[in-house]
Amino acid sequence: MSKPVVVIVCELPETLSKQAEASGLVDLRVWRPSPQNPQAKSAPREWLMEHVPGASAIICIPMTKVDEELMDAAGSSLKVVSTMSVGFEHIDMEAAKKRGIRVGYTPDVLSSAVADLSLVLALNLMRNTMEGYHIVKNGMWSKAPWTPVSFCGPAMEGKSVGFLGLGSISQTLVSKLLPFKPKEIVYKVSQPREFDLKDPHFRFLANNDLFQAYTNYHHRLPFPLVNEHDVTAFAQRCDVIFLICNLNASTHHVVDADFLRNMKTTAYLINVGRGGLVDTNALVQALHANEIAGAGLDVLEGEPQIAADHPLLAPELVNKVMILPHMASATQEAREGMALLTAQNALAALGLRPDGPSGEMPTELLR
């Protein structure tokens, strides 16, 4: 009997799949960059179409388009697609469902890393570190003497901090904000949901050691957590807004010209969710018109094809915008955890999970 074939679109920082191959459980088809193109990061379409026929599992990353064509090329042997990501927009979920293909993803394991970088973006903008850095880098320090208000920006303390989406990453960030003493946490979710630590939806906060210690000692929450149902009121109320939610038909361009116009002129927008949550053209106009104070973006529409002359990289916005190349989960620990979970999902769907019930995927989107 032939062994299941697992196609892996790039080398991952995990050893579980290699151990499975060494044990004679699977055959791996792993893409690696060629000497002619050593800078390539993941398998091109041509390689995938050539190597997926007969595959039982595809281990992919967000840059891999797993559509009907690829599933058909794999054939009836394909049992699972496992992605090293929380987002799954690159996978045709309807096509997978129609074919009975299971889909695994990697939530929660990256929550702390993404929360950290979200806070990094917010604090860099609020404390004007970009302006300070460029003054030093451009040799202008001696020409910009100190004044009582030099580089002054707002503190996080006493501010209304908003979250569009309140899943595991957002709740992890809320717990990390505790020492910053915000005035309140305001959140907007798809369905009205008043805050209750007994509600399983809020389990990431309920189970957080620091949050637990505070509430147990003081017998109260460290700050109010308010569910704002109206998107306009939400935009108007917050001093900092974190976008940490899925991209779908209802959230596409949820931050549009009207949303930005309703934000405080002193407010900051931080997007670590998906680029399509924000109307880029509207954001450019809002920043030029001083409708908001700044934007920190780890994701952007059209990424990674972002040219140096992108409107958000205009010289006049250099101190208002901080853009990073989708690196929020980039800690060694988070990426290794994601890679391991990706391999666990794939092997489990094939009945080969060595560390849990056979056939039970640790984190499954579709069955």
Tell me if residue 157 is catalytic.
Answer: no
Tell me if residue 274 is catalytic.
Answer: yes
**Cα 180 to chain centroid, rounded:** 23
Q: How far apart are CA 40 and CA 124, in angstroms?
A: 31
Q: How far apart are CA 277 and CA 301, in angstroms?
A: 8
The residue written with tokens 């998107």 in the block is 231
Rg, the chain, Cα only: 23
First-residue to last-residue Cα distance in the chain: 26
- Of residues 102, 274, 335, 353, which has the active-site annotation? 274
Q: How far apart are CA 40 and CA 183, in angstroms?
A: 46
- Of residues 21, 184, 303, 336, which has the active-site annotation? 303
- Whether 57 and 79 have beta carbons less than 8 Å apart is answered as yes
Q: Backbone phi, then psi, for 348, in 5-degree steps?
A: -65, -40
- Of residues 102, 326, 335, 353, which has the active-site annotation? 326
Q: Which amino acid is at 139?
A: G
**Cα 161 to chain centroid, rounded:** 19
- Whether 260 and 287 have beta carbons less than 8 Å apart is answered as no
> Cβ contacts of residue 266 below 8 Å, gap of 6+?
154, 239, 293
Alpha helices in the chain (DSSP H): 16-22, 45-51, 68-74, 93-99, 111-126, 129-137, 168-176, 203-206, 209-218, 231-237, 257-262, 280-288, 332-349
Tell me if residue 326 is catalytic.
Answer: yes
Q: How far apart are CA 129 and CA 127, in angstroms?
A: 6
Which residues does the annotation mark as catalytic? 274, 303, 326
